[in-house]
Chain A
Protein backbone atom coordinates (compact mmCIF):
# COMPACT_ATOMS: atom_id res chain seq x y z
CA UNK A 1 0.00 0.00 0.00
CA UNK A 2 1.24 3.52 -0.73
CA UNK A 3 -0.44 6.42 0.99
CA UNK A 4 -0.39 10.05 -0.12
CA UNK A 5 0.70 11.35 3.31
CA UNK A 6 1.54 8.56 5.72
CA UNK A 7 2.05 9.41 9.37
CA UNK A 8 4.22 6.35 10.00
CA UNK A 9 6.67 5.49 7.23
CA UNK A 10 8.84 2.44 7.70
CA UNK A 11 11.26 1.72 4.87
CA UNK A 12 13.80 -1.03 4.36
CA UNK A 13 13.84 -1.81 8.07
CA UNK A 14 16.36 -4.35 9.35
CA UNK A 15 17.16 -5.19 12.93
CA UNK A 16 19.66 -7.65 14.34
CA UNK A 17 20.82 -8.18 17.90
CA UNK A 18 24.34 -9.12 18.87
CA UNK A 19 24.35 -12.19 21.10
CA UNK A 20 26.95 -14.64 22.41
CA UNK A 21 26.19 -16.95 19.47
CA UNK A 22 26.59 -14.17 16.92
CA UNK A 23 24.11 -11.79 15.34
CA UNK A 24 20.43 -12.68 15.66
CA UNK A 25 18.38 -11.24 12.84
CA UNK A 26 14.96 -10.17 14.14
CA UNK A 27 13.64 -8.19 11.17
CA UNK A 28 14.92 -8.96 7.68
CA UNK A 29 13.44 -6.32 5.43
CA UNK A 30 10.24 -4.52 6.22
CA UNK A 31 8.46 -1.51 4.80
CA UNK A 32 5.02 -0.23 5.70
CA UNK A 33 2.95 2.91 5.95
CA UNK A 34 0.17 4.01 8.27
CA UNK A 35 -2.01 6.91 7.27
CA UNK A 36 -3.77 9.49 9.46
CA UNK A 37 -6.60 7.98 11.48
CA UNK A 38 -5.85 4.47 10.27
CA UNK A 39 -5.56 1.38 12.40
CA UNK A 40 -2.94 -1.10 11.22
CA UNK A 41 -2.40 -4.50 12.77
CA UNK A 42 0.75 -6.63 12.76
CA UNK A 43 0.12 -10.33 13.23
CA UNK A 44 2.59 -13.16 13.08
CA UNK A 45 3.81 -16.27 14.85
CA UNK A 46 5.18 -16.00 18.40
CA UNK A 47 8.71 -14.64 18.52
CA UNK A 48 8.63 -13.41 14.91
CA UNK A 49 9.67 -9.87 15.80
CA UNK A 50 6.32 -8.09 16.18
CA UNK A 51 7.23 -6.50 19.49
CA UNK A 52 10.69 -5.63 18.12
CA UNK A 53 8.97 -3.78 15.28
CA UNK A 54 6.78 -1.91 17.75
CA UNK A 55 9.79 -1.01 19.92
CA UNK A 56 11.56 0.35 16.85
CA UNK A 57 8.54 2.49 15.92
CA UNK A 58 8.36 3.66 19.57
CA UNK A 59 12.00 4.72 19.41
CA UNK A 60 12.97 2.30 22.19
CA UNK A 61 15.47 0.53 19.91
CA UNK A 62 17.43 1.76 16.92
CA UNK A 63 17.18 0.00 13.54
CA UNK A 64 20.26 -1.76 12.20
CA UNK A 65 19.35 -0.55 8.71
CA UNK A 66 16.51 1.37 7.12
CA UNK A 67 14.48 4.21 8.53
CA UNK A 68 11.33 5.01 10.50
CA UNK A 69 9.67 8.39 10.21
CA UNK A 70 6.68 9.55 12.22
CA UNK A 71 5.19 12.72 10.78
CA UNK A 72 8.54 13.28 9.04
CA UNK A 73 10.53 13.01 12.28
CA UNK A 74 12.50 10.21 13.87
CA UNK A 75 10.62 8.27 16.59
CA UNK A 76 12.92 9.76 19.26
CA UNK A 77 11.46 13.20 18.54
CA UNK A 78 7.93 12.24 17.45
CA UNK A 79 6.99 10.70 20.83
CA UNK A 80 4.51 7.98 19.86
CA UNK A 81 2.41 6.76 22.81
CA UNK A 82 2.71 3.10 23.80
CA UNK A 83 0.34 0.77 25.65
CA UNK A 84 2.51 -2.08 26.92
CA UNK A 85 1.37 -5.66 27.24
CA UNK A 86 1.53 -5.53 31.07
CA UNK A 87 0.19 -1.91 30.97
CA UNK A 88 3.19 -0.66 33.05
CA UNK A 89 0.97 1.07 35.62
CA UNK A 90 2.81 2.26 38.72
CA UNK A 91 1.25 0.39 41.69
CA UNK A 92 1.84 3.14 44.27
CA UNK A 93 -0.06 5.73 42.22
CA UNK A 94 -3.82 5.83 41.87
CA UNK A 95 -5.42 5.75 38.41
CA UNK A 96 -5.59 9.56 38.20
CA UNK A 97 -1.90 9.92 39.09
CA UNK A 98 -0.96 7.19 36.61
CA UNK A 99 -2.87 8.91 33.81
CA UNK A 100 -1.40 12.30 34.76
CA UNK A 101 2.18 10.94 34.66
CA UNK A 102 3.02 12.09 31.08
CA UNK A 103 1.80 15.61 31.95
CA UNK A 104 3.76 15.56 35.22
CA UNK A 105 6.92 14.72 33.26
CA UNK A 106 6.15 17.53 30.81
CA UNK A 107 5.98 19.88 33.78
CA UNK A 108 2.25 20.71 33.55
CA UNK A 109 0.97 22.29 36.80
CA UNK A 110 -0.78 19.98 39.26
CA UNK A 111 -4.29 21.44 38.93
CA UNK A 112 -4.28 21.44 35.14
CA UNK A 113 -2.83 17.95 34.79
CA UNK A 114 -5.36 16.47 37.19
CA UNK A 115 -8.21 18.19 35.36
CA UNK A 116 -6.96 16.83 32.03
CA UNK A 117 -6.39 13.35 33.48
CA UNK A 118 -9.93 13.33 34.92
CA UNK A 119 -11.27 14.27 31.49
CA UNK A 120 -9.41 11.45 29.75
CA UNK A 121 -10.34 8.92 32.44
CA UNK A 122 -13.99 9.85 31.88
CA UNK A 123 -13.49 9.39 28.12
CA UNK A 124 -12.33 5.79 28.67
CA UNK A 125 -15.26 5.06 31.02
CA UNK A 126 -13.41 5.26 34.34
CA UNK A 127 -15.18 8.21 35.94
CA UNK A 128 -15.48 7.54 39.67
CA UNK A 129 -12.39 5.29 39.79
CA UNK A 130 -9.80 8.09 39.90
CA UNK A 131 -8.65 7.34 43.47
CA UNK A 132 -8.38 3.56 43.04
CA UNK A 133 -4.98 1.90 42.86
CA UNK A 134 -4.22 -0.39 39.86
CA UNK A 135 -4.31 -3.44 42.17
CA UNK A 136 -7.89 -2.54 43.16
CA UNK A 137 -9.36 -2.60 39.65
CA UNK A 138 -9.85 -5.33 37.02
CA UNK A 139 -7.48 -6.13 34.15
CA UNK A 140 -9.85 -4.45 31.70
CA UNK A 141 -9.85 -1.27 33.78
CA UNK A 142 -6.07 -1.38 33.95
CA UNK A 143 -6.01 -1.59 30.14
CA UNK A 144 -8.34 1.42 29.95
CA UNK A 145 -6.08 3.34 32.34
CA UNK A 146 -3.03 2.55 30.19
CA UNK A 147 -4.94 3.77 27.11
CA UNK A 148 -5.98 6.92 28.98
CA UNK A 149 -2.37 7.58 29.97
CA UNK A 150 -1.32 7.19 26.32
CA UNK A 151 -4.07 9.62 25.25
CA UNK A 152 -2.86 12.35 27.62
CA UNK A 153 0.34 12.43 25.57
CA UNK A 154 -1.74 13.75 22.65
CA UNK A 155 0.46 11.70 20.34
CA UNK A 156 -0.27 11.31 16.63
CA UNK A 157 0.56 7.64 16.88
CA UNK A 158 -0.72 5.11 19.40
CA UNK A 159 1.09 1.76 19.62
CA UNK A 160 -0.69 -1.17 21.30
CA UNK A 161 1.43 -4.21 22.18
CA UNK A 162 -0.62 -7.39 22.82
CA UNK A 163 -2.84 -5.19 24.93
CA UNK A 164 -5.77 -7.62 25.24
CA UNK A 165 -3.67 -10.74 25.87
CA UNK A 166 -4.55 -11.00 29.56
CA UNK A 167 -8.27 -10.10 29.61
CA UNK A 168 -11.40 -12.17 29.13
CA UNK A 169 -13.50 -12.19 25.95
CA UNK A 170 -16.19 -9.78 27.18
CA UNK A 171 -13.59 -7.26 28.40
CA UNK A 172 -11.76 -7.70 25.11
CA UNK A 173 -14.94 -6.74 23.20
CA UNK A 174 -15.41 -3.61 25.31
CA UNK A 175 -11.76 -2.63 24.76
CA UNK A 176 -12.18 -3.09 20.99
CA UNK A 177 -15.19 -0.76 21.06
CA UNK A 178 -13.21 1.74 23.12
CA UNK A 179 -10.31 1.84 20.67
CA UNK A 180 -12.68 2.33 17.73
CA UNK A 181 -14.49 5.14 19.56
CA UNK A 182 -11.26 6.85 20.61
CA UNK A 183 -9.84 6.56 17.12
CA UNK A 184 -12.94 8.30 15.76
CA UNK A 185 -12.66 11.03 18.41
CA UNK A 186 -8.93 11.69 18.40
CA UNK A 187 -8.14 10.68 14.77
CA UNK A 188 -4.72 9.37 15.80
CA UNK A 189 -3.23 6.51 13.87
CA UNK A 190 -2.92 3.24 15.70
CA UNK A 191 -0.57 0.30 15.25
CA UNK A 192 -1.59 -2.90 16.99
CA UNK A 193 0.64 -5.90 17.58
CA UNK A 194 -1.44 -8.98 18.25
CA UNK A 195 -1.49 -12.77 18.04
CA UNK A 196 -5.16 -12.70 17.15
CA UNK A 197 -6.14 -12.50 13.51
CA UNK A 198 -9.78 -12.08 14.64
CA UNK A 199 -8.90 -9.00 16.69
CA UNK A 200 -6.92 -7.54 13.80
CA UNK A 201 -9.80 -8.16 11.38
CA UNK A 202 -12.26 -6.51 13.75
CA UNK A 203 -10.27 -3.32 14.26
CA UNK A 204 -7.76 -2.76 11.50
CA UNK A 205 -7.93 -1.10 8.09
CA UNK A 206 -4.79 -2.96 7.09
CA UNK A 207 -3.38 -6.17 8.46
CA UNK A 208 0.28 -6.93 7.93
CA UNK A 209 1.10 -10.63 8.29
CA UNK A 210 4.71 -11.28 9.25
CA UNK A 211 6.82 -14.37 8.63
CA UNK A 212 8.75 -16.27 11.28
CA UNK A 213 11.95 -14.64 12.45
CA UNK A 214 13.59 -12.84 10.74
CA UNK A 215 10.34 -10.98 10.09
CA UNK A 216 9.30 -10.20 6.53
CA UNK A 217 5.85 -9.24 5.30
CA UNK A 218 4.23 -12.35 3.81
CA UNK A 219 1.01 -10.56 2.91
CA UNK A 220 -1.28 -7.66 3.68
CA UNK A 221 -5.05 -7.65 4.00
CA UNK A 222 -7.06 -4.48 3.46
CA UNK A 223 -10.53 -4.32 4.97
CA UNK A 224 -12.90 -1.71 3.66
CA UNK A 225 -15.80 -1.94 6.09
CA UNK A 226 -16.86 0.70 8.66
CA UNK A 227 -15.46 -0.36 12.04
CA UNK A 228 -18.75 0.08 13.88
CA UNK A 229 -20.38 -2.32 11.40
CA UNK A 230 -17.66 -4.85 12.16
CA UNK A 231 -18.22 -4.58 15.90
CA UNK A 232 -21.99 -4.92 15.39
CA UNK A 233 -21.56 -7.93 13.13
CA UNK A 234 -18.31 -9.82 13.73
CA UNK A 235 -19.53 -12.53 11.32
CA UNK A 236 -19.80 -10.19 8.36
CA UNK A 237 -18.71 -12.09 5.19
CA UNK A 238 -15.86 -9.65 4.60
CA UNK A 239 -14.49 -10.32 8.10
CA UNK A 240 -14.87 -14.08 7.69
CA UNK A 241 -12.91 -13.80 4.46
CA UNK A 242 -10.23 -11.59 6.10
CA UNK A 243 -9.83 -14.13 8.93
CA UNK A 244 -9.60 -17.02 6.45
CA UNK A 245 -7.00 -15.18 4.39
CA UNK A 246 -5.09 -14.14 7.51
CA UNK A 247 -4.96 -17.71 8.78
CA UNK A 248 -3.79 -18.97 5.39
CA UNK A 249 -1.01 -16.37 5.37
CA UNK A 250 -0.05 -17.22 8.95
CA UNK A 251 0.12 -20.93 8.10
CA UNK A 252 2.22 -20.08 5.10
CA UNK A 253 4.49 -17.97 7.30
CA UNK A 254 5.08 -20.78 9.81
CA UNK A 255 7.88 -23.13 8.97
CA UNK A 256 6.23 -26.25 10.38
CA UNK A 257 9.39 -28.39 10.17
CA UNK A 258 11.20 -25.84 12.36
CA UNK A 259 8.40 -25.85 14.92
CA UNK A 260 8.51 -29.66 15.10
CA UNK A 261 12.26 -29.65 15.64
Chain B
Protein backbone atom coordinates (compact mmCIF):
# COMPACT_ATOMS: atom_id res chain seq x y z
CA UNK B 1 0.00 0.00 0.00
CA UNK B 2 1.44 3.36 -0.93
CA UNK B 3 2.09 5.81 1.88
CA UNK B 4 -0.32 8.35 0.33
CA UNK B 5 -3.21 5.86 0.29
CA UNK B 6 -2.36 4.78 3.84
CA UNK B 7 -2.39 8.44 5.02
CA UNK B 8 -5.76 9.00 3.31
CA UNK B 9 -7.31 5.86 4.83
CA UNK B 10 -5.91 6.71 8.28
CA UNK B 11 -7.40 10.21 7.99
CA UNK B 12 -10.83 8.82 7.00
CA UNK B 13 -10.70 6.28 9.86
CA UNK B 14 -9.79 9.00 12.41
CA UNK B 15 -12.62 11.17 11.07
CA UNK B 16 -15.19 8.32 11.35
CA UNK B 17 -13.94 7.46 14.84
CA UNK B 18 -14.16 11.10 16.00
CA UNK B 19 -17.78 11.37 14.72
CA UNK B 20 -18.79 8.23 16.63
CA UNK B 21 -16.80 8.83 19.86
CA UNK B 22 -17.86 12.49 20.30
CA UNK B 23 -21.35 11.96 18.85
CA UNK B 24 -20.95 14.98 16.57
CA UNK B 25 -24.23 15.96 14.87
CA UNK B 26 -24.33 15.36 11.12
CA UNK B 27 -24.93 19.04 10.24
CA UNK B 28 -21.64 19.93 12.01
CA UNK B 29 -19.50 17.06 10.79
CA UNK B 30 -21.04 14.28 8.70
CA UNK B 31 -19.44 10.83 8.83
CA UNK B 32 -17.32 9.71 5.86
CA UNK B 33 -20.02 7.17 4.98
CA UNK B 34 -22.69 9.90 4.84
CA UNK B 35 -20.44 11.99 2.61
CA UNK B 36 -19.73 8.99 0.37
CA UNK B 37 -23.45 8.15 0.09
CA UNK B 38 -24.25 11.78 -0.82
CA UNK B 39 -21.47 11.88 -3.44
CA UNK B 40 -22.92 8.70 -4.98
CA UNK B 41 -26.53 9.92 -4.89
CA UNK B 42 -25.62 13.40 -6.20
CA UNK B 43 -23.05 12.06 -8.67
CA UNK B 44 -24.59 13.74 -11.68
CA UNK B 45 -24.62 17.21 -10.03
CA UNK B 46 -21.11 16.81 -8.60
CA UNK B 47 -19.65 15.40 -11.82
CA UNK B 48 -20.91 18.39 -13.81
CA UNK B 49 -19.74 20.82 -11.11
CA UNK B 50 -16.29 19.21 -10.99
CA UNK B 51 -16.00 19.26 -14.77
CA UNK B 52 -17.00 22.93 -14.97
CA UNK B 53 -14.56 23.97 -12.21
CA UNK B 54 -11.80 21.86 -13.77
CA UNK B 55 -12.31 23.39 -17.21
CA UNK B 56 -12.35 26.91 -15.75
CA UNK B 57 -9.15 26.17 -13.83
CA UNK B 58 -7.43 24.61 -16.88
CA UNK B 59 -8.41 27.54 -19.13
CA UNK B 60 -7.29 30.03 -16.46
CA UNK B 61 -4.04 28.15 -15.97
CA UNK B 62 -3.28 28.10 -19.71
CA UNK B 63 -4.14 31.79 -20.02
CA UNK B 64 -1.86 32.58 -17.06
CA UNK B 65 0.97 30.50 -18.58
CA UNK B 66 0.65 32.34 -21.90
CA UNK B 67 0.58 35.75 -20.19
CA UNK B 68 3.54 34.89 -17.91
CA UNK B 69 5.54 33.60 -20.88
CA UNK B 70 4.73 36.72 -22.90
CA UNK B 71 5.71 39.01 -20.03
CA UNK B 72 8.84 36.92 -19.38
CA UNK B 73 9.95 37.27 -23.02
CA UNK B 74 9.14 40.99 -23.01
CA UNK B 75 11.14 41.53 -19.82
CA UNK B 76 14.14 39.62 -21.25
CA UNK B 77 14.03 41.74 -24.39
CA UNK B 78 13.60 44.96 -22.38
CA UNK B 79 15.36 44.36 -19.02
CA UNK B 80 14.56 47.92 -17.88
CA UNK B 81 10.88 47.01 -17.70
CA UNK B 82 11.55 44.31 -15.08
CA UNK B 83 11.01 46.53 -12.02
CA UNK B 84 7.77 48.20 -13.18
CA UNK B 85 6.37 44.86 -14.38
CA UNK B 86 7.21 43.18 -11.08
CA UNK B 87 5.74 46.15 -9.20
CA UNK B 88 2.47 45.85 -11.12
CA UNK B 89 2.38 42.08 -10.54
CA UNK B 90 2.94 42.52 -6.79
CA UNK B 91 0.24 45.21 -6.64
CA UNK B 92 -2.20 42.87 -8.40
CA UNK B 93 -1.23 40.03 -6.10
CA UNK B 94 -1.78 42.24 -3.03
CA UNK B 95 -5.50 42.71 -3.84
CA UNK B 96 -7.43 39.93 -2.06
CA UNK B 97 -8.92 37.50 -4.58
CA UNK B 98 -12.21 37.52 -2.65
CA UNK B 99 -12.39 41.28 -3.31
CA UNK B 100 -11.73 40.84 -7.01
CA UNK B 101 -14.32 38.08 -7.50
CA UNK B 102 -17.43 40.36 -7.30
CA UNK B 103 -15.76 42.81 -9.69
CA UNK B 104 -15.37 40.07 -12.29
CA UNK B 105 -18.97 39.01 -11.64
CA UNK B 106 -20.11 42.54 -12.54
CA UNK B 107 -17.84 42.67 -15.60
CA UNK B 108 -18.37 39.17 -16.95
CA UNK B 109 -21.68 37.99 -15.45
CA UNK B 110 -22.47 34.47 -14.23
CA UNK B 111 -20.71 32.72 -17.13
CA UNK B 112 -17.33 31.03 -17.11
CA UNK B 113 -15.31 33.98 -18.51
CA UNK B 114 -14.99 35.77 -15.17
CA UNK B 115 -13.97 32.52 -13.45
CA UNK B 116 -11.30 31.84 -16.04
CA UNK B 117 -9.96 35.39 -15.68
CA UNK B 118 -9.81 35.17 -11.89
CA UNK B 119 -8.15 31.74 -12.02
CA UNK B 120 -5.59 33.25 -14.42
CA UNK B 121 -4.94 36.26 -12.14
CA UNK B 122 -4.32 33.96 -9.16
CA UNK B 123 -2.09 31.61 -11.16
CA UNK B 124 -0.03 34.14 -13.12
CA UNK B 125 1.93 35.51 -10.17
CA UNK B 126 3.89 32.36 -9.15
CA UNK B 127 4.65 31.65 -12.82
CA UNK B 128 5.90 35.18 -13.42
CA UNK B 129 8.05 35.22 -10.28
CA UNK B 130 9.51 31.83 -11.25
CA UNK B 131 10.35 33.06 -14.76
CA UNK B 132 11.92 36.28 -13.48
CA UNK B 133 13.97 34.32 -10.93
CA UNK B 134 15.03 31.91 -13.66
CA UNK B 135 16.20 34.77 -15.84
CA UNK B 136 18.10 36.33 -12.94
CA UNK B 137 19.83 32.97 -12.31
CA UNK B 138 21.31 32.72 -15.82
CA UNK B 139 25.09 32.47 -15.37
CA UNK B 140 26.76 35.74 -16.45
CA UNK B 141 29.28 33.81 -18.57
CA UNK B 142 26.37 32.35 -20.60
CA UNK B 143 25.25 35.89 -21.37
CA UNK B 144 28.86 36.85 -22.16
CA UNK B 145 29.11 33.90 -24.53
CA UNK B 146 26.05 35.06 -26.45
CA UNK B 147 27.46 38.59 -26.57
CA UNK B 148 30.77 37.37 -28.00
CA UNK B 149 28.77 35.40 -30.58
CA UNK B 150 26.94 38.65 -31.45
CA UNK B 151 23.58 36.96 -30.89
CA UNK B 152 20.53 39.19 -31.29
CA UNK B 153 18.31 39.81 -28.26
CA UNK B 154 15.70 37.49 -29.70
CA UNK B 155 18.28 34.70 -30.26
CA UNK B 156 19.50 35.17 -26.69
CA UNK B 157 15.95 34.83 -25.34
CA UNK B 158 15.06 31.79 -27.44
CA UNK B 159 18.36 29.90 -27.29
CA UNK B 160 19.49 30.85 -23.77
CA UNK B 161 16.98 32.55 -21.45
CA UNK B 162 13.95 30.33 -22.05
CA UNK B 163 15.74 26.95 -21.91
CA UNK B 164 17.65 28.10 -18.81
CA UNK B 165 14.31 29.03 -17.17
CA UNK B 166 12.68 25.63 -17.69
CA UNK B 167 13.41 24.21 -14.18
CA UNK B 168 12.21 27.47 -12.57
CA UNK B 169 9.16 27.64 -14.84
CA UNK B 170 8.17 24.06 -13.95
CA UNK B 171 8.38 24.92 -10.22
CA UNK B 172 6.19 27.97 -10.91
CA UNK B 173 3.65 25.89 -12.86
CA UNK B 174 3.50 23.36 -10.04
CA UNK B 175 2.54 26.07 -7.54
CA UNK B 176 0.24 27.82 -10.01
CA UNK B 177 -1.86 24.75 -10.98
CA UNK B 178 -3.64 24.24 -7.61
CA UNK B 179 -3.91 28.04 -7.28
CA UNK B 180 -5.82 28.17 -10.57
CA UNK B 181 -8.30 25.67 -9.06
CA UNK B 182 -8.60 27.86 -5.96
CA UNK B 183 -9.13 30.96 -8.15
CA UNK B 184 -11.97 29.34 -10.10
CA UNK B 185 -13.68 28.18 -6.86
CA UNK B 186 -13.44 31.63 -5.24
CA UNK B 187 -14.86 33.18 -8.40
CA UNK B 188 -17.77 30.73 -8.29
CA UNK B 189 -18.45 31.65 -4.65
CA UNK B 190 -19.46 35.17 -5.63
CA UNK B 191 -21.93 33.89 -8.20
CA UNK B 192 -22.03 31.23 -10.87
CA UNK B 193 -24.46 28.92 -12.63
CA UNK B 194 -22.40 25.75 -12.15
CA UNK B 195 -19.25 24.58 -10.48
CA UNK B 196 -17.95 23.15 -7.19
CA UNK B 197 -17.73 26.61 -5.60
CA UNK B 198 -21.37 27.44 -6.16
CA UNK B 199 -22.38 23.87 -5.15
CA UNK B 200 -20.57 24.34 -1.83
CA UNK B 201 -22.21 27.73 -1.30
CA UNK B 202 -25.71 26.35 -1.91
CA UNK B 203 -25.02 23.27 0.26
CA UNK B 204 -23.82 25.51 3.12
CA UNK B 205 -26.91 27.75 2.82
CA UNK B 206 -29.14 24.64 3.06
CA UNK B 207 -27.07 23.14 5.91
CA UNK B 208 -26.47 20.14 3.64
CA UNK B 209 -23.13 19.29 5.26
CA UNK B 210 -22.59 15.92 3.53
CA UNK B 211 -22.87 17.62 0.10
CA UNK B 212 -20.67 20.51 1.28
CA UNK B 213 -17.98 18.07 2.45
CA UNK B 214 -18.31 15.98 -0.69
CA UNK B 215 -17.79 19.04 -2.91
CA UNK B 216 -14.90 20.22 -0.71
CA UNK B 217 -13.19 16.82 -1.01
CA UNK B 218 -13.66 16.83 -4.77
CA UNK B 219 -12.12 20.34 -4.84
CA UNK B 220 -9.12 19.02 -2.93
CA UNK B 221 -8.79 16.13 -5.41
CA UNK B 222 -8.93 18.66 -8.24
CA UNK B 223 -6.05 20.64 -6.69
CA UNK B 224 -4.02 17.47 -6.09
CA UNK B 225 -4.76 16.35 -9.67
CA UNK B 226 -3.54 19.70 -11.04
CA UNK B 227 -0.33 19.46 -8.99
CA UNK B 228 0.28 15.86 -10.09
CA UNK B 229 -0.37 16.69 -13.76
CA UNK B 230 2.46 19.23 -13.65
CA UNK B 231 4.70 16.64 -11.98
CA UNK B 232 4.08 14.40 -15.00
CA UNK B 233 5.13 17.25 -17.29
CA UNK B 234 8.19 17.96 -15.17
CA UNK B 235 9.94 14.64 -15.76
CA UNK B 236 10.28 14.89 -19.58
CA UNK B 237 11.18 18.57 -19.28
CA UNK B 238 13.89 17.86 -16.71
CA UNK B 239 15.21 15.05 -18.86
CA UNK B 240 15.35 17.44 -21.77
CA UNK B 241 17.24 19.99 -19.72
CA UNK B 242 19.70 17.49 -18.20
CA UNK B 243 20.42 20.24 -15.70
CA UNK B 244 22.37 18.02 -13.32
CA UNK B 245 25.71 19.46 -14.44
Q: Which of chain B's residues have a CB closer than 8 A to the CB of A134?
A: 245
Task: Please give the distance in Å from B138's CB to the nearest CB on chain A.
Answer: 11
**List of B residues within 8 angstroms of A6 by Cβ:** none
Given contacts A90-B160, A105-B151, contact A60 B241 (CB under 8 A): no
B139: contacting residue among A55, A79, A86, A153, CB under 8 A: A86
Q: How large is the interface on A (under 10, 10 to 19, 20 to 34, 35 or more residues)?
A: 20 to 34
- On whether the beta carbons of B149 and A88 are closer than 8 Å, the reply is no
B166 (CB) vs chain A CBs: closest residue: A92
Number of A-B contacts (CB under 8 A): 58
Residue of A nearest to B244 (CB): A135
With A104-B159, A133-B242 as contacts: A82 and B144 at CB distance below 8 Å: yes
Are A91 and B141 within 8 A (Cβ)? Answer: no
Shortest distance in angstroms between A162's beta carbon and chain B's nearest beta carbon? Answer: 11
By CB atoms of chain B within 10 A, which of A90, A102, A134 has the most? A90
Question: Looking at chain A's contact residues, is the secondary structure mostly helix, strand, loop, or mixed?
Answer: loop
Which residues A48-106 have CB closer than 8 A to chain B? Answer: 55, 58-60, 79-82, 84-86, 88-92, 101-102, 104-105
* Chain B binding surface SS class: helix
Tell me, yes or no, whether B150 is within 8 Å of chain A by CB: yes
Q: Which residues of A contact B107 (CB under 8 A)?
A: none
Question: Chain B residues with Cβ under 8 A from A101's Cβ?
Answer: 149, 159
Does B94 sit at the interface, judged by CB under 8 A? Answer: no
**A84 near B145: Cβ-Cβ < 8 Å:** yes
* B8 within 8 A of partner (CB): no
In the complex, the answer to whether A86 meets B245 with C-beta atoms within 8 Å is no
A82–B140 alpha-carbon span in the complex (Å) = 14
B60 to chain A, nearest CB (A): 29
**Residues of A contacting B243 in the complex (Cβ-Cβ under 8 angstroms):** 91-92
Pick the residue among A55, A82, A91 that contacts B242 (CB under 8 A).
A91
Q: What class of interface size applies to chain B in its complex with A? A: 20 to 34
- For A105, give its contact among B141, B155, B241, B244 (CB under 8 Å): B155
Interface residues in B220-244 (C-beta closer than 8 Å to A): 240-244
B241 lies within 8 A of A91 (CB): yes
A59-B148 contact given A91-B245, A92-B241, A133-B245, CB 8 Å threshold: yes
Residues of the B chain whose Cβ atoms lie less than 8 Å from the Cβ of A133 = 242, 245
Tell me the chain B residues, 120-150 only, with Cβ under 8 Å from chain A: 139, 141-142, 144-150
Closest beta carbon of chain A to B170's beta carbon, Å: 13
Chain A min CB distance to B233 (Å): 16
**Residue ID in chain B nearest A91 by CB atoms:** B245
Instruction: Give Cα distance in the complex from A134 to B150, angstroms.
Output: 23
A33 to B149 CA separation, bound complex (whole angstroms): 23
Question: Cβ of B163 and Cβ of A92 under 8 Å apart?
Answer: yes
Q: Assess whether A88 is in contact with B141, with CB atoms less than 8 Å apart.
A: yes
| B155 near A135: Cβ-Cβ < 8 Å | no
Complex-state Cα separation, A88 to B142, whole angstroms: 5
Inter-chain CA distance A84–B141, complex, in Å, is: 7
Interface 1/0 per residue, A193-218 and B, CB below 8 Å:
00000000000000000000000000
CA distance A90 to B159 in the complex (A): 9
Docked pose: A141 CA to B180 CA in angstroms: 45
Q: Decide if B159 touches A58 in the complex (CB within 8 Å).
A: no
Give the docked Cα–Cα distance between A199 and B150 (Å): 30
Given contacts A91-B245, A105-B159, A135-B244, contact A60 B148 (CB under 8 A): yes
In residues 145-172 of chain B, which contact A (Cβ within 8 Å)? 145-151, 155, 159-160, 163, 166
Q: Which 7 A-B pairs have the closest CB atoms?
A: A135-B245, A88-B145, A88-B141, A84-B141, A91-B245, A133-B242, A92-B241
27 A-B residue pairs with Cβ-Cβ distance under 8 Å, sorted by A, are A55-B144, A58-B144, A60-B147, A60-B148, A79-B150, A80-B148, A82-B145, A84-B141, A84-B144, A84-B145, A85-B141, A86-B139, A88-B139, A88-B142, A88-B144, A89-B245, A90-B142, A91-B243, A91-B244, A91-B245, A92-B166, A92-B241, A101-B149, A104-B159, A105-B149, A105-B155, A134-B245
